[in-house]
Amino acid sequence: MTLPLTVVPVPGPGAEDVLVGADGRVWTGTADGAVHVHDPVDGSVTTVAATGGRPLGLEWLPDGRLLVCDAHRGLLALDPHTGDLETLVTEVDGERLLFVNNAAVQADGTIWFTDSSRRWQVEDWKNDLVEHTCTGRLLRRDVDGTVTTVLDRLAFANGVALLPDERGVLVAETGTCRIRRVARSGNAAGSSTTWVEDLPGHPDNIALGSDGLVWVTVASPSDPVLAVLRRSPRQVRAVVRRLPDRVKPEPKRTARVLGLDDGGAVVHDLDFDASGWHVATGVREHGGRVWLGSLLEPAIAVGDVPPLA
């Protein structure tokens, strides 16, 4: 069943992620570098700040500031009241971050975040998927500012989420349609496993919802061309990468999200009407609704989560 969506235009292209505050207001960042907030009560959209880069993933920090994963400028902390910005991370091991994408924040302020590619920036995201560079990373910034590489050689590292009780960290690999899990406690602490594989499409951002489920965006159905390229020699992938952008694999016109329990089982599989808004890359479940962001659309969207039968 296709579900209805309510679309909320914002003053900028590519409202990639969404974040809901305790007051119910919804935050997003756009490709022009701006960060906006939408008030569902009066319908207003206000521009709060400009990062000077490309904001993607958004999270709350324990001190009330907004963590901004800026693909160009690194990890930033934004004061939502004043618009002031603090730079937290721009490089790791002396290497400048090229494609900071998404994050999750522990209660103590520890930040888990992704750098999607060491080779390509956000504007060239297709090139990384076509070349299957596997240069993405899951990184951790401790409260003292130390940054550690937790997982390397990820296939387009993307969304990050904490499991309930912070007992594990999840990271989506867009290029392989799977989600990895890093244990945080017990004898297996620090080890990684595949949490979910063979997803029905390419995952983007993921987030723990108010319902205790992990919500996963399916930005586009699994692409058979990319599957073939993953198995092809590097020279073949390089040739395809040099083709005009218009002939490279494109996201399909869909708007789909999954709600998974902490064992990775599908609880919700929601397919929304994509005729007026498509390519869901950000998701937040809040009070029985899912707010969605899109890398391509100049708008965010919201739909209801149907009750379970």
Question: Closest by alpha carbon to 190, among 199, 198, 200, 180?
Answer: 180
Q: Is the dihedral of CA 79, 80, 84, 86 positive or negative?
A: positive
pLDDT in tens, 146-196: 999 999 999 999 999 999 999 999 999 999 999 999 999 777 778 999 999
| pTM of structure | 0.96
| Residue in the block written with tokens 């009066």 | 42
Question: Closest by alpha carbon to 297, among 286, 282, 284?
Answer: 282
279: tokens are 């390519």
49: tokens are 């700040």
Average pLDDT of span 291-300: 98
269: tokens are 């599989």
Strand, coil or helix: 250: coil
181: tokens are 């899990």
76: tokens are 């930033």
In this structure, the strands spanning 147-154 and 280-286 are unpaired
b/e sequence 123-141, b meaning 16+ C-beta within 10 Å: ebbbbbbbbbbbbbbbbbb
b/e sequence 262-281, b meaning 16+ C-beta within 10 Å: beeeeebebebebeebbbbb
Average per-residue pLDDT for the chain? 96
Per-residue pLDDT at 146: 98
Q: What is the share, in percent, of the chain residues with pLDDT greater than 90?
A: 88
Angstrom distance (rounded) from CA 21 to CA 163: 19
